[in-house]
Amino acid sequence: MKKDPVIFLKHILESIEIIDEFTSGISKEKFLVSVQIQDGVIRRLEIIGEAVKNLLPEFKYMHPGIEWKKIAGLRDVLIHAYFSVDLDLTWGIVKNDLPELKKKIKNIINSYE
């Protein structure tokens, strides 16, 4: 049974919004010393990657403006290399990549509803 891609897109959007809540108003320095915030952000990045993996290849092909493969790959790194997660890279993703991804995901969701 195929699942509606909007379900997975909404999981992605929800996780981005939760990451926004976790990191709103905090500095990189606070992020780097707060294991609680790190764990929450990393978990939500894992969920984003897992949701991407559940999207059908045809769907991803129809939306080439998103780096689906990199997002899924990040999930694999976070899951399997949890002792050596690069927190500077993680912070960069949160601050530089997620805002654009959020816009793109919202646009795709809106086009399906």
Query: What does the DSSP assignment read for 54-75?
Result: HS-HHHHHH-TTS-HHHHHHHH
Domain count along the chain: 1
Domain that holds residue 38: 5-112
* Rounded Cα gap, residues 19 and 60, in angstroms: 23
In the annotation, is 75 catalytic?
Answer: yes
pLDDT in tens, the chain (113 residues): 468 999 999 999 999 999 999 999 999 999 999 999 999 999 999 999 999 999 999 999 999 999 999 999 888 888 777 678 899 999 999 999 999 999 999 999 999 98
Burial level of 107, CB count in 10 A (0-12/13-18/19+)? exposed
Tokens of 52: 């991407």
Q: Which residue in 9, 44, 49, 75 is the catalytic one? A: 75
Amino acid of residue 89: L
CB atoms within 10 A of CB 74: 21
Q: Is the pTM of this model over 0.75?
A: yes
